[in-house]
């Protein structure tokens, strides 16, 4: 069965690269004598799944005047500026409840780890978070080279019936999980040319962020701190520099620990925040998801309202002119 799964993934990669058609591969499966009966059944299920996948991403395709202050990514308008992950929860029911409490419309998942129906006997993410309610954001978590990212994104596009929106991340160091920028740049260039809408996880380097924007990425996602660290934004000035110069959405990704971290990101002018661990590993994930939703909304409102300047000395709240002696 493991060999069947590996063959299914390899053949899907061939489909994505245009090497052989789906019907040719299915004929190979049905007519092959090299596999056991169980393996042939698993492979047939793999291809039937790809033909009967749910219709994807039924949220608005273009910016809508009905949404005040929308977050617009790749031409789609969203009310929520909180993007959430699907890993680290105790089960898919908790994932669903936390996602609903967060009010998220964009949810990300690791293509190489999450079951979308290709394993019929296992819990299916699409049952908990149906794609007619959410925009799915497949990501390349676990990839360490540009080639691995390309294969994973093409597999996601095949699994999700032509889905183009992806989150690109290429891990360069296992201790810090910092991105490998050289490999990420190489992968982003190919994916953009291949028609993907790329939301890219990167460091908080303003020059690198500009390179990704010039390359045609749909959004840049600088880290606040190492993934899962909960340290919050460690360098607000580089984040502000990215925000002030970017013409595409800036989504803080990684390192958020609590609601005040999310609020700060929004007060700095970021367009949104993506988080997973801060919610999933909280003592009460559903309540923390609600807290993050409130923080995102409060931080965005504060940014739009405009904070008062910081001053070294006090300024009386009541006017001194005309005061009774």
Evaluate whether 209 touches 246 at the Cβ level (below 8 Å): yes
- In contact, 89 and 117? CB cutoff 8 Å: no
The residue assigned the tokens 């390192």 is: 255
Using alpha carbons, select from 209, 293, 295 the residue that is nearest to residue 251.
209
Determine which one of 88, 90, 167, 293 is catalytic. Answer: 167
Active site residue 167: yes
Angle at the Cα of 235 (from 140 to 206), degrees rounded to 5? 65
3-state secondary structure of 132: coil
The encoded tokens of residue 137 equal: 């954001």
What are the distances in angstroms from CA 280 to CA 84, 111, 120, 182, 275?
Answer: 10, 19, 25, 31, 9
Strand-strand pairing, 82-85 and 106-110: parallel
Our measurement of the distance from residue 313's CA atom to the centroid of its chain's CA atoms, rounded to an integer in Å, reads: 43
Identify the three-state secondary structure at position 219. strand
How far is 23 from 38, CA to CA, in rounded Å?
Answer: 20
Residues belonging to the chain: 325
Beta strand 251-253 with 197-202: parallel, antiparallel or unpaired? unpaired
H or E stretch covering 53: none
CA separation for the pair 189, 250 (Å, rounded):
19
Name the H helices within the chain.
2-16, 22-31, 37-51, 92-102, 125-128, 146-159, 181-193, 206-215, 236-245, 259-267, 277-280, 285-305
Taking the C-alpha atoms of residue 68 and residue 323, their distance in angstroms, rounded to an integer, is 43
Rounded Cα–Cα distance for residues 7 and 82 (Å) = 37
Q: What is the largest CA-CA distance in the chain?
A: 103
Which sequence positions are flagged as catalytic? 167
């Amino acid at each position: 069965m493991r060999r069947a799964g590996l063959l299914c993934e390899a053949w899907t990669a061939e489909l994505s690269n245009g090497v052989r058609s789906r019907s040719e591969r299915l004929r190979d499966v049905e007519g092959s004598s090299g596999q056991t009966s169980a393996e042939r059944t698993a492979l047939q299920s793999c291809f039937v799944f790809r033909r009967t996948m749910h219709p994807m991403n039924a949220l608005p395709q273009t910016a809508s005047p009905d949404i005040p202050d929308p977050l617009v990514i790749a031409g789609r308008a969203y009310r929520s500026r909180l993007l959430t992950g699907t890993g680290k929860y105790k089960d898919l029911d908790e994932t669903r409840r936390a996602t609903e409490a967060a009010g998220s419309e964009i949810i990300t998942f690791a293509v190489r780890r999450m079951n979308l129906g290709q394993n019929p006997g296992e819990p299916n993410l699409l049952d908990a978070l149906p794609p007619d309610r959410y925009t799915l954001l497949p990501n390349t978590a676990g990839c360490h080279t540009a080639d691995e990212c390309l294969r994973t994104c093409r597999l996601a596009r095949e699994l999700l019936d032509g889905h183009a929106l992806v989150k690109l991340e290429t891990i360069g160091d296992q201790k810090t999980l910092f991105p490998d920028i050289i490999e990420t740049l190489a992968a982003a260039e190919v994916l953009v040319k291949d028609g993907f809408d790329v939301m890219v996880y990167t460091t908080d380097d303003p020059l690198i962020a500009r390179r990704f924007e010039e390359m045609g990425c749909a959004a840049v996602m600088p880290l606040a701190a190492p993934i899962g660290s909960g340290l919050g934004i460690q360098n607000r000035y580089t984040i502000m520099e990215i925000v002030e110069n970017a013409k595409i959405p800036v989504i803080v990704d990684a390192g958020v620990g609590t609601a005040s971290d999310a609020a700060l990101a929004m007060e700095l002018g970021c367009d949104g925040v993506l988080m997973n661990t801060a919610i999933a590993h909280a003592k009460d994930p559903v309540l923390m998801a609600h807290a993050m939703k409130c923080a995102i909304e409060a931080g965005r409102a504060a940014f739009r309202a405009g904070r008062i300047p910081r001053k070294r000395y006090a300024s009386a709240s009541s006017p001194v002119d005309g005061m009774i002696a």
